[in-house]
Structure 1
């Protein structure tokens, strides 16, 4: 039975880097599915989301999030991750067919995969390090400016180091950045978790005042929500 949240150490596989070194590094895909209720929500489907979430094989349902009041086009968000994108697709379809989610409309989705971060090879997303989910999450896509990747490497490294130092001051925030090149319309997907919603607000505002901000092309939409139990889904969608 698949866990609904990751517990303990995340699975690792051995990867051979171009240098020839074999490193243990957590690997995995992740997807975020945003849904809204419709007139037919909850009128079909036999399996419950509770039962489905407990039986997704290697796919983990990290969280179900209540987006009520944050946007006019979204009520619920699912966050799933696993070692294989195809298995995640299957898990999403199964969850969408459950009694609680049948009839909902999908309004946004994004897929990402863990790859080396720019100039910080040690960054591993929290969800792959076995870090427990936090009470709140904000997820948004991100594209750099067209000239960003043509800038001298030392300039990019300097700007990202400043960005990293500023963000590190918010010790309650868990970073989960994943690469999304070719997986959709964005280069990166940035899910940030915290038990304090205001901490997410303050951090995002603070990061506006760094030089790297001058090289942002796209960073919307934002989806922010509170993590709930699968047993509470129908209350959100009622």
Structure 2
């Protein structure tokens, strides 16, 4: 992978945000030639490199074919939501960006886990990214927050035990209260997609599952070099 996929940088800051912009091609991009796509990809990649001291690109994901409203997803990490917004604005002004439609945007900030203060997202710990990523928002029911803390803690411990049955699956949870329509943004990573499938299925067995209100959409993609992912768009 190129230098844009480094894991050090903004992650070391006191406040860390993760941002996942998701795009699909506009008709004019789907008509582009392979040469045009390569040129537009390289031009946009230059912009991302110019921002690399403030925004880390953990991965670019080709989401073509996984769902009709998503063909390209990026995973940006930064210490400031202002920087993340500014980069998105500049990206959308590139020739490539003008030919992409932003269909989903997930932003969250790293906060201590409710009952396990030493738990951190994999990307904050510096764990290298894996081949596949599955990103989705999550909302719990009102009843969850009215439960006694000890009861919630016990259910989350069970949830954690189930998750540790899949040590090769990386979990990344960020808090999104007030940022958008959701409470949490989750990103699971693995080198085999079926491992994410099996892990998420296993987590359905946890008692905390009864307090899930919403967890769609799921956006899943294959991590590729930036220009290669752009070439998948037409």
- TM-score, length of structure 2 as denominator length: 0.89
2:62 and 2:222 in contact (8 A); partners too? yes
- Match of 2:134, SS state, is strand
- Match of 1:149, SS state, is helix
> Does 1:186 pair with 2:182?
yes
1:10 and 1:130 in contact (8 A); partners too? no
Once residues 150 and 117 of structure 1 are traced to their aligned partners in structure 2, the CA distance between those partners, rounded to angstroms, is: 18
Deviations 1:20-51 (A, max 9, x none): xxxxxx53011111100011226899771221
1:64 and 1:227 in contact (8 A); partners too? yes
Give, in angstroms, the shift of residue 5 of structure 1: 1.7
Q: Tell me the number of residue pairs that the alignment of Structure 1 and Structure 2 aligns.
A: 225
Pairwise CA RMSD of aligned residues? 2.1
The equivalent residue for 2:101 is 105
Give, in angstroms, the shift of residue 9 of structure 1: 7.8
Deviations 1:137-174 (A, max 9, x none): 00010001111011001100000000000001101111
Give, in angstroms, the shift of residue 99 of structure 1: 3.2
Once residues 67 and 136 of structure 1 are traced to their aligned partners in structure 2, the CA distance between those partners, rounded to angstroms, is: 10
Structure 2 matches for 1:173-212, cutoff 5 A? 173-212=169-208
Once residues 79 and 9 of structure 2 are traced to their aligned partners in structure 1, the CA distance between those partners, rounded to angstroms, is: 14
Once residues 73 and 120 of structure 1 are traced to their aligned partners in structure 2, the CA distance between those partners, rounded to angstroms, is: 36
Q: Which residue, out of 32, 35, 44, partners 2:20?
A: 32
- Match of 2:163, SS state, is helix
1:33 and 1:79 in contact (8 A); partners too? yes
The equivalent residue for 1:22 is none
Q: Which residue, out of 43, 49, 59, partners 2:44?
A: 49
Q: Which is bigger in relative contact order (C-alpha 8 A, separation at least 6)?
A: 2
1:40 and 1:104 in contact (8 A); partners too? no
Pair 1:159–1:212, CA change in 2 (3 A):
same
Once residues 138 and 217 of structure 2 are traced to their aligned partners in structure 1, the CA distance between those partners, rounded to angstroms, is: 9
The equivalent residue for 1:76 is 72
2:19 and 2:105 in contact (8 A); partners too? yes
Residue segments in structure 2 that go unaligned for 5+ positions in a row:
none
Once residues 184 and 30 of structure 1 are traced to their aligned partners in structure 2, the CA distance between those partners, rounded to angstroms, is: 13
Deviations 1:177-229 (A, max 9, x none): 00000000000000111111110000011111110000000011100000010
- TM-score, length of structure 1 as denominator length: 0.88
Residue segments in structure 1 that go unaligned for 5+ positions in a row:
14-25
Structure 2 matches for 1:108-123, cutoff 5 A? 108-123=104-119
